[in-house]
Structure 1
């Protein structure tokens, strides 16, 4: 008879790690994670702008605090930690690099001018901003996402083919992979594939910290984005930026392919996508402030009791005004005429939200990575 030996082993923990790449919708992802985990989600950062956190830092944190269920960090770099008894689920979102650059500029317009990014963005129009990065800040515009994944954000040379292969491997193996312009599809896939570990996971969200100048430039395979960049930057600068982001563009394409593959494996994927959208809309509606209640002190008057000079003006545009001071006028004379569409990308921004306190406090001071936060 074989002897049976048992040893005491702690139950396995599951901890989400959000590798928060600056301007890759990370604030919205954190919003969804916080809805699920509350105080079990912690933001983990170093003590200064350019700090880098690695696997050992995370290992020490999760071993010291058993209440942690999810971690988000701008400073955290791959590879994932390995801790006995803990399974780390990495969240990584990739963005079209040209879209990311445009978002970087419009975000900088909201920052204090004393910060590095705010000062540069507010010193130029968008074309001048991008040209400045090309000339003086290659670490902020040259294959930034490949460099972050493959080299931990350390920039001393242009990323190459070997770095791209390393970034491919991280994207393909990421537990929760997403693409910013496939956000809902990514979230539906993440929900489905992580629910064996988190049975009640629900990733609907309200967009946070949006700073893109356009909401639908990715239609028709990204042609809208390319056309917008050419128009704002000019053909020569556009060509330079595309060349500087050759590997990021390939990484973005690989991430889209992988997210699509995972989504296709979700049962009833299209129905779930529709249902997810309905949940997202319901959440936004639930968070709207209630309409102001009528003032109970205000006396009520039935419309029939109004005297002729108190009568409400007609809402029918074909009916003449009841105000004797307002002469009757032809509708064509009242029309303001067609309004010329604005060509200012700032005016086209769908979200006037102000940057959060963390972003303002970070400063982006002379950093080799500080423009890669959020």
Structure 2
């Protein structure tokens, strides 16, 4: 006989971090590890290109009832909870040109024999980008955010869906941008505290590229100068969706911050707590 679930069973809330490669995720995970301690878990596959099905995430969480926050590089939307498991997604987007330069610098210094690391060490930046682009639509640099939001190769969905990507970004529990990560985390605290009371996402920068320019525009200009006009234009064309998603994430960040009754107090409190950790 099947066991019927008790109606009085408490609903379990779990924060789920879509940890996109080179998108400030290590800094966010640093806060989650401190905040949730043994209730935090990383759920990555064995290969760099692993992909978890939504049902696998739910099944994994059901075997670990004490987990309150999960982070993974290999998640794909949508999240799939149930009547006793509610999942709250968090995702951070990065300007595509800023991200690709960061990936190149990271793979050049990485102690790895992966193809990406080997080519980054062998090529200058433009040739590395051309090599990445030659891999086709599934490569790491072209509309990668849109793919995370709408594609799942294990289910045959390989072409990003613009409308669905924009919709899912609007609906995720908390989103932000890497160039405004401090502000994004301060806002995420406020958005998530009704579910996770007294949540403290204060943190210190982790895994940051040494010697990078301080402003986003400066880093974009640096990438354009290194690429040259023709290659830069090609990368822009092949990241049309991600550029639109980044613009939407920036707009949502501004709108939601402005909607806080105590915006300045929230930001000041967050910055003070971060300074205390430094």
The two structures have a TM-score, normalised by structure 2, of 0.91
Q: Secondary structure at the match of 1:48?
A: coil
* Equivalent in the alignment of 2:189: 191
* Equivalent in the alignment of 1:243: 237
* Equivalent in the alignment of 1:82: 81
Any gaps of 5 or more consecutive residues in structure 2?
Answer: 1-5
Question: In the TM superposition, what is the alpha-carbon distance from 1:113 to its structure 2 partner?
Answer: 4.7
* Equivalent in the alignment of 1:180: 178
Q: Secondary structure at the match of 1:72?
A: strand
Task: Give the alignment of 1:271-282 within 5 angstroms.
Answer: 271-282=265-276
The question of 1:39 aligning with 2:38 is answered: yes
Q: CA RMSD in A?
A: 2.1
Matches of 1:65 and 1:216, distance apart in 2: 41
Matches of 2:125 and 2:99, distance apart in 1: 13
Q: Which has the higher helix share?
A: 2
Matches of 1:256 and 1:20, distance apart in 2: 18
Task: Give the alignment of 1:17-96 within 5 angstroms.
Answer: 17-96=16-95
Task: Give the alignment of 1:1-374 within 5 angstroms.
Answer: 8-136=7-135, 138=137, 139-152=139-152, 159=159, 163-211=161-209, 214-218=212-216, 222=217, 224-284=218-278
Structure 1 pair 213/245, CA: closer, same or farther in 2 (3 Å)? farther
Question: In the TM superposition, what is the alpha-carbon distance from 1:30 to its structure 2 partner?
Answer: 0.6
Q: Pick 1 or 2: higher relative contact order, CA cutoff 8 A, min separation 6.
A: 1
Counterpart contact for 1:113–1:122, Cα < 8 Å: no
Question: In the TM superposition, what is the alpha-carbon distance from 1:49 to its structure 2 partner?
Answer: 3.0
Q: Whose Rg is larger? A: 1
Question: In the TM superposition, what is the alpha-carbon distance from 1:226 to its structure 2 partner?
Answer: 3.3
Q: Secondary structure at the match of 2:46?
A: coil
Question: In the TM superposition, what is the alpha-carbon distance from 1:110 to its structure 2 partner?
Answer: 1.7
Q: Secondary structure at the match of 1:140?
A: coil
Task: Give the aligned length.
Answer: 272
